Structure 1
Amino acid sequence: MEWLDLSPDEWNAVRLSIKVATWAMVVSLPFGILIGLALARGTFWGKSVLNGIVHLPLILPPVVTGYLLLLSFGRRGPVGAFLEEHFGIVFAFRWTGAALACGIMGFPLMVRAIRLSTEAVDRKLEAAAGTLGANPVWVFATITLPLILPGIIAGMILSFAKAMGEFGATITFVSNIPGETQTLPSAIYTFTQIPGGDIGALRLTFVSVVIAMIALVASEVLARRVGRRMDVE
């Protein structure tokens, strides 16, 4: 199956996609847990506004999200200029910018999974632990967190999968630079624009499907293991 032999540039796109998706998922996770808990348990003013902002990337065209990121985090943007001047951090046209864009696009899926999992937790279990003298932090660590762990895992996998397939926001914000910002979707798009690029596009499409299936199977296995441990305990 010679047609499956990836070129060095294609391998770079695969590795970069995995790198970008992993960082997008990991960095988003603490914020996803906090906001998921806030939306599930919080009773504060502006909760509906926060919920709308979180889910906005699902409604807006990805190109619009990418353009807003370019305006905000570009070298001339207010946030981007501040980060570059004071911390030397640059997002525009860098792989870190691709991770930022992918993280934002996958964030609503992560938050939703965590929120639904938190809302399904029986509050009586937490109340019982509290009556026995456990402080809120200990209750969360020993009761709430294990119960919502399947939702966290599901949210992580959904975020990772979304990041692996993100195209519109990334190409608008960080362009399509081979070796720097050219992820799998961008590389596939490039192949479709050149004569004789169908085989390359097909190769990378096959790789994308395989990676997505591995991620889904891994999430299923992890969720089942967590469920079994909870049943045993």
Structure 2
Amino acid sequence: MSSDEWQLVVFTASMALMATLCLIPPGVVLAWWLARRNWRGKMVVETLVSLPLVLPPVVTGLLLLKAFSRRGVLGAWLEEQWGLEVVFTWKAVVLALATMSSPLFVRTARAALEAVDPRLEQQARTLGAGEWRVFFTVTLPMAARGVMAGALLAFARALGEFGATVMVAGNIPGETTTLPVAIYHAVQLGQDEKAWHLAAVAVVVSFLAVGLSEILVRRRSG
């Protein structure tokens, strides 16, 4: 592979990693909330969390574009308060990858948290531990493998994201072009050899991430 192709792979992997790291804290909180709490409207939240799995990615990207553009509510607020532009920057890449990866992470983390025996949490409370201490010393450590498996699945999903990314971040070489976008662009230009090189790298990295996730899930189940 050429140096340009390696830079593209590194950029995509770094964006996917950043998106996954940004997703983990709120994703764990949301997964715990769904796993341990019941409230009116919970089904609506569960449906919203899962929507990126079933919506066409370009629709999700269009919604993000509308919300984070300069005329959008969130985009205008970010520019006014922090001077940040999101659309058609690397930040839009991270946003799109995190959004499309979030259902896999939240669903996997929720299953891991639900598998933790509530009696162990209750025993910790009877010994005087508060809710946050119970969560960080009992619940989260016992669900750690499942949470990590979800993070790996989210990372793998982020590596392969195309539709939402191209809508909200575009295809700006050296700034927003990710591996899937580059593969599509190479095919459009008739650069089949380059497309196959990049596709092979995408397959290998995704296979390793999903395989490691499966190993963690099996160990947790065992």
The reply to whether TM is greater than 0.5 is: yes
Counterpart residue type for residue 172 of structure 1: M
How far residue 221 of structure 1 moved from its aligned partner, in angstroms, is 6.0
Q: Name the counterpart of 1:19.
A: 14
Q: Distance in 2 between matches of 1:84 and 1:17?
A: 25
Tell me which structure has the larger Cα radius of gyration.
1
For each residue in 1:154-185, what CA deviation from the matched residue of structure 2 results, as whole angstroms up to 9, or x when unmatched? 11011111110000000011111111111000
For each residue in 1:132-171, what CA deviation from the matched residue of structure 2 results, as whole angstroms up to 9, or x when unmatched? 2222222222211111111110110111111100000000
Q: Distance in 2 between matches of 1:102 and 1:78?
A: 21
Q: Name the counterpart of 1:231.
A: none
Q: Distance in 2 between matches of 1:22 and 1:16?
A: 10
Q: Name the counterpart of 2:97.
A: 102
How far residue 204 of structure 1 moved from its aligned partner, in angstroms, is 0.3
Q: Is the 8 A contact 1:149 1:226 kept in 2?
A: no
Q: Is the 8 A contact 1:94 1:180 kept in 2?
A: yes
Counterpart residue type for residue 119 of structure 2: K
Q: Name the counterpart of 1:34.
A: 29
Q: Name the counterpart of 2:178.
A: 183
Q: Distance in 2 between matches of 1:77 and 1:135?
A: 40
TM-score where L is the length of structure 2: 0.93
Q: Is the 8 A contact 1:153 1:223 kept in 2?
A: no
Q: Name the counterpart of 2:141.
A: 146
Q: Name the counterpart of 2:194.
A: 200
Correspondence 1:10-89 to 2 at 5 A: 10-89=5-84
How far residue 219 of structure 1 moved from its aligned partner, in angstroms, is 3.9
RMSD (CA atoms): 1.9
Q: Distance in 1 between matches of 2:10 and 2:155?
A: 14
Q: Distance in 1 between matches of 2:38 and 2:31?
A: 13
Equivalent residue pairs, number: 222
Counterpart residue type for residue 201 of structure 1: A
Matched, 1:162 2:157: yes
Q: Distance in 2 between matches of 1:104 and 1:10?
A: 26
Unaligned runs of 5+ in 2: none
How far residue 214 of structure 1 moved from its aligned partner, in angstroms, is 2.9
Q: Distance in 1 between matches of 2:120 and 2:57?
A: 41
Unaligned runs of 5+ in 1: 1-5, 229-233
For each residue in 1:77-131, what CA deviation from the matched residue of structure 2 results, as whole angstroms up to 9, or x when unmatched? 1211221122121111111101101100000110000111111111111112222
SS at match of 2:143: helix
Q: Is the 8 A contact 1:9 1:178 kept in 2?
A: no
Q: Name the counterpart of 1:213.
A: 207
Q: Name the counterpart of 1:113.
A: 108
How far residue 39 of structure 1 moved from its aligned partner, in angstroms, is 0.7
Q: Is the 8 A contact 1:57 1:108 kept in 2?
A: yes
Q: CA, structure 1 residues 55+227, in 2 after alignment: closer, same or farther (shift >3 Å)?
A: closer
TM-score where L is the length of structure 1: 0.89
State percent identity of aligned pairs: 47
Q: Is the 8 A contact 2:146 2:220 kept in 1?
A: no
Q: Name the counterpart of 1:3.
A: none
